[in-house]
Amino acid sequence: MRFISSIACAVKLLSNSFPDMRLLFLTLTLCLLSACANNHCISLKDDPTAWQALQDAWQDQQVLMILRHAAKCDEEPGCVEDNEDLTPLGKMQAGVIGDGIRDTLGEPFDVYHSDMIRTKDTALLAFGASTVDDKISKPCLPGFSDHVRNFPISTNTILVTHSSCIDSLVDREGERYLGLKSGDDAHFGIAAFMQQTHDNELKVLGCVWPKDWPALIQSVLAPSAPRIP
> Do strands 131-132 and 157-161 pair parallel, antiparallel, or not at all (unpaired)?
unpaired
Q: Give which of 201, 211, 91, 199 is closest to 146, Cα–Cα.
A: 201
Residue 67, pLDDT above cutoff 60 = yes
Q: What is the dihedral of CA 165, 170, 175, 176, to 10 degrees?
A: -40
Residue 25, pLDDT above cutoff 50 = no
For residue 102, how many C-alpha atoms fall within 13 Å in the half-sphere facing its CB? Answer: 10
More confident residue, 114 or 178: 114
Question: Do 117 and 202 share a domain, yes or no?
Answer: yes
C-alpha dist (Å) from residue 22 to 2, 4, 5, 19, 37: 23, 23, 21, 9, 22
Question: Do 157 and 80 share a domain, yes or no?
Answer: yes
State which residues form the domain around 31. 2-35
More confident residue, 188 or 34: 188
Mean pLDDT for all residues in the chain: 83
CATH number, position 97: 3.40.50.1240
User: Based on the structure, what is the number of domains in the chain?
Assistant: 2
DSSP string, 128-169: S--EE-GGGSSSPPTTHHHHHHT---SS-EEEEE-HHHHHT-
Question: Do 73 and 164 share a domain, yes or no?
Answer: yes
Per the document, the length of the chain is 229
Position 27 confidence tier, pLDDT thresholds 50, 70, 90:
very low
Question: Do 112 and 212 share a domain, yes or no?
Answer: yes
Is position 133 within any domain?
Answer: yes
Position 32 confidence tier, pLDDT thresholds 50, 70, 90:
very low
pTM: 0.80
Question: Do 200 and 144 share a domain, yes or no?
Answer: yes
More confident residue, 140 or 117: 117
> Do strands 64-68 and 191-196 pair parallel, antiparallel, or not at all (unpaired)?
antiparallel
Is position 190 within any domain?
Answer: yes
Is position 42 within any domain?
Answer: no
Chain-centroid distance, C-alpha 102: 18
Q: What is the rounded distance in angstroms from the CA atom of residue 168 to the CA atom of residue 162?
A: 10
29 three-class SS: helix
Question: Do 15 and 63 share a domain, yes or no?
Answer: no
> Do strands 191-196 and 157-161 pair parallel, antiparallel, or not at all (unpaired)?
unpaired
Per residue in 127-139, pLDDT (tens digit) is 999 999 999 998 8
203 three-class SS: strand
